[in-house]
């Protein structure tokens, strides 16, 4: 084995070791949130509902859709590395489902109907990737898409929960801000770190053509978290508007796209943010505006 190949192999091993330790630590330090620790008391249900009801509904739906995400994942990656399986099955899914249950309970207590998550529709796009993924080199492309989607999703969640937390605090809704949103928010950075670390480790092993293909497929398929059709994209636009993200769209997009700019070579081309991320966020805000006007 050449020196360079040897160095690659040992780097890959140490990334894997760090991932295993990270996932074990997450599992130990962050069990699913204990429902007994959540205080659903709301001072002014009508005010919270008017301002943030739809944000709670969107986030509850997305969190509850983890069950479908796992289905998508196993379609895309029929044979995932053990550490990925350990992460999504033992740590990530139980935490996210609980996030969804808590947010949904809060919105129901505000007098809203429960979220309607789609738990079992796997898109044709992903089925196709799953079929192609039987070829090992394409499987790495699928894995990279999965990690990039995961990191963008988790980053978006942290940013949105920060803003929701501040908004509820401003309304004087301390119980919801601290025991609902802050507790959930605390668990998201560990998810982001898992995906970012996995993406960095895998990127170092990709050939030029694989990186090119990942970039093409990301540009074709990128969507904001939870936006699977035009209606949901408009819903996301409403969430952005309520949280004030529309005023600072480029900065938000830059934070969401940071890891992929770094790994897919956009930074070398002088880009601070992938153009498809900005375009998708703009489209969401425009769709929301058009819907409100109609
Ligand atoms: Fe979550
Ligand atoms: Fe998460």
The neighbourhood of ligand 1, an ion, using CB within 5 A, equals 63, 96, 99
For residue 153, the ligand closest to its alpha carbon is 2
CA distance 205 to 192: 20
Ligand 2 centroid – CA 42 distance (Å): 25
For residue 192, the ligand closest to its alpha carbon is 2
Contact indicator for 14, 144 with CB cutoff of 8 Å: no
pTM: 0.93
Ligand 1 centroid – CA 161 distance (Å): 9
For residue 96, the ligand closest to its alpha carbon is 1
CA distance 205 to 266: 18
Ligand 2 centroid – CA 2 distance (Å): 40
**What are phi and psi for residue 29, nearest 5 degrees?**
-85, -20
CA distance 101 to 245: 25
User: pLDDT truncated to tens, each residue of the chain (294 aa)?
Assistant: 567 676 776 777 788 899 999 999 999 999 999 999 999 999 999 999 999 999 999 999 999 999 888 888 888 887 888 999 999 999 999 999 999 999 999 999 999 999 999 887 777 777 777 777 778 788 899 899 999 999 999 999 999 999 999 999 999 999 999 999 999 999 999 999 999 999 999 999 999 999 999 999 999 889 999 999 999 999 999 999 999 999 999 999 999 999 999 898 766 677 788 999 999 999 999 999 999 999
Ligand 2 centroid – CA 80 distance (Å): 19
Ligand 1 centroid – CA 8 distance (Å): 33
Ligand 2 centroid – CA 145 distance (Å): 17
Task: Please give the full DSSP string across 63-127, using - where no structure is assigned.
Answer: HHTHHHHHHHHHHH-SS--HHHHHIIIIIIHHHHHHHHHHHHHHHHHTTPPPP----S---HHHH
Ligand 1 centroid – CA 152 distance (Å): 13
Ligand 2 centroid – CA 15 distance (Å): 21
């Amino acid at each position: 084995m050449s020196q360079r190949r040897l160095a690659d192999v040992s780097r890959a091993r140490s990334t894997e070791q760090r991932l295993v330790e990270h996932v074990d630590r997450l599992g130990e330090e962050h069990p699913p949130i204990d429902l007994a620790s959540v205080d659903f008391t709301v001072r002014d249900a009508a005010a919270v509902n008017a301002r943030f009801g739809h944000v709670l509904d969107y986030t509850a739906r997305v969190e509850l859709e983890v069950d479908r995400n796992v289905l998508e994942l196993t379609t895309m990656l029929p044979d995932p590395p053990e550490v990925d399986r350990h992460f999504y099955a033992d740590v990530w899914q139980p935490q996210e489902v609980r996030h969804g249950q808590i947010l949904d309970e809060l919105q129901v207590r505000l007098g809203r109907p429960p979220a309607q998550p789609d738990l079992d529709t796997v898109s044709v796009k992903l089925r196709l990737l799953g079929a192609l993924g039987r070829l090992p080199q394409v499987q790495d492309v699928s894995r990279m898409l999965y990690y990039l989607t995961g990191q963008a999703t988790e980053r978006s969640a942290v940013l949105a929960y920060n803003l929701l937390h501040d908004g509820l605090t401003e309304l004087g809704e301390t119980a919801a801000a601290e025991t609902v949103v802050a507790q959930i928010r605390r668990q998201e950075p560990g998810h982001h770190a898992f995906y970012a670390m996995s993406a960095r480790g895998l990127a170092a092993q990709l050939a030029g053509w694989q990186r090119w293909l990942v970039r093409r497929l990301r540009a074709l398929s990128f969507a904001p978290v939870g936006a699977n059709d035009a209606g949901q994209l408009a819903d996301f636009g409403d969430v952005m508007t309520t949280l004030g993200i529309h005023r600072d769209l480029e900065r938000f997009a830059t934070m969401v796209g940071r890891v992929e700019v770094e790994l897919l070579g956009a930074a070398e081309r002088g880009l601070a943010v992938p153009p498809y991320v900005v375009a998708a966020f703009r489209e969401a805000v425009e769709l929301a505006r058009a819907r409100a006007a109609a």
